[in-house]
């Protein structure tokens, strides 16, 4: 295999795109007419990256609604196996993540 082909393969591998579905619960259901949001993110993205994408969506679709942004910033996220995950949790494959908004204002 020549050097340029090897570099191309490595480059593509490092920038693989994953499909991440974020299931919506509670107040976050207002963000979509479906019960989920779908994002295409680069490989090894984190929950922090998902939050950033959701905040961008709120800016675009809801004119930066501060209440929606506050909900996202204060929400917990859970993995496919229903464990609470931190902002640093790395997503390494196509995955479904749940967003759990605060209940009763906190």
Supply the pLDDT for residue 17: 83
* pTM for this predicted structure: 0.82
| Cβ atoms 77, 89 nearer than 8 A | yes
pLDDT of residue 39: 94
Domain 16-100 falls in which CATH fold? Answer: Ubiquitin-like (UB roll) (3.10.20)
- Looking at residue 104, its pLDDT comes to 67
User: Which residues is 18 bridged to in the sheet?
Assistant: 41
- The greatest distance separating any two alpha carbons of the chain, rounded to the nearest whole angstrom, comes to 60
pLDDT at 92: 80
What is the structure's pLDDT at 12? Answer: 52
- Copy the structure tokens of residue 91: 């997503």
**Which neighbouring-strand residues pair with 96?**
21
Residues 86 and 90: their CA atoms lie apart, in Å, by 9
Compute mean pLDDT per 10 residues along the chain, 106 residues long, and list them.
47 70 95 95 92 97 96 95 95 91 72
Domain range annotation of the chain: 16-100
């Amino acid at each position: 295999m020549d050097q340029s082909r090897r570099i191309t393969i490595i480059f593509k591998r490092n920038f693989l795109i994953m499909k991440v579905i974020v299931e919506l619960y509670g107040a976050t259901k207002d963000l979509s007419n479906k019960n989920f949001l779908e994002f295409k993110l680069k490989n090894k993205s984190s929950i922090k990256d998902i939050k950033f994408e959701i905040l961008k969506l709120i800016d675009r679709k809801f004119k930066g609604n501060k209440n929606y942004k506050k909900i996202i910033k204060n929400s917990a996220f859970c993995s496919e196996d229903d464990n609470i995950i931190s902002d640093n949790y790395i997503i390494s494959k196509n995955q479904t993540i749940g967003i759990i908004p605060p209940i009763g204002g906190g």
